[in-house]
Amino acid sequence: MDTVQKEKNIALIKDVLRNYLLEKGFRNTPERYTILEEIYNMDHHFNVDDLYLLMMQKKYHVSKATIYNTIEIFLDAGLIRKHQFGEKTLTSSSYEKSYFDKQHDHLVIYKKTLTKKLRKSSSSAIQESKELKKPLKKHLA
């Protein structure tokens, strides 16, 4: 995605957040917009610890509690998605931006702890493999 389109997208999601905060009666703080922009500049899944370290490296002064609270707002606003890939602890949750993303699935291989984002065609291959009871390798090759 080119820089101009990325800037337009970020402006749009900031408007979505602004409207959500107004509708819910939440405070309109600069920290929320900064966190949102950092998330939408990422090209991968993240967890709260990753985001917190990134914010600290960039000299943003936000607490981990602020990030957790902001994440909950973003989830409710439909700006990010939450995933639990295996472990069921609060800190093991992964998140990804979701406002512009198309529907996709994740394949988690526990033996190698590998997470892959799948296109719809791959997702269809998994379903077809289950229905036909054939090895998945043939469908993804």
User: What pLDDT, on a 0 to 100 scale, did the predictor assign at position 96?
Assistant: 81
Residue recorded with tokens 């490296």: 57
- The tens digit of pLDDT for each residue in 82-123 reads 876 565 555 567 788 876 666 655 455 555 444 555 555 555
What are the CA-CA distances from residue 49 to residues 89, 96, 126 (Å)?
A: 13, 14, 32
Tokens, residue 121: 């065609």
Contacts of range 29-35, beta carbons closer than 8 Å, 24 or more positions apart: 31/60, 31/62, 31/66, 31/70, 32/70, 32/73, 34/60, 34/62, 35/62, 35/66, 35/67, 35/70, 35/74
Q: Per DSSP, what are the bridge partners of residue 46?
A: 95
- The tens digit of pLDDT for each residue in 27-73 reads 999 999 999 999 999 887 888 999 999 999 999 989 999 999 999 99
User: What pLDDT, on a 0 to 100 scale, did the predictor assign at position 98?
Assistant: 74
> Is 0.85 topped by the overall pTM?
no
Angle (CA) 91-94-95 rounded to 5° is: 125
User: What pLDDT, on a 0 to 100 scale, did the predictor assign at position 95?
Assistant: 83
**Start-to-end Cα distance in the chain:** 28
Residue bearing the bigger pLDDT, 88 or 21? 21
User: What pLDDT, on a 0 to 100 scale, did the predictor assign at position 87?
Assistant: 59
> If you count DSSP H runs as helices and E runs as strands, how many of each does the chain have, helices first?
6, 4
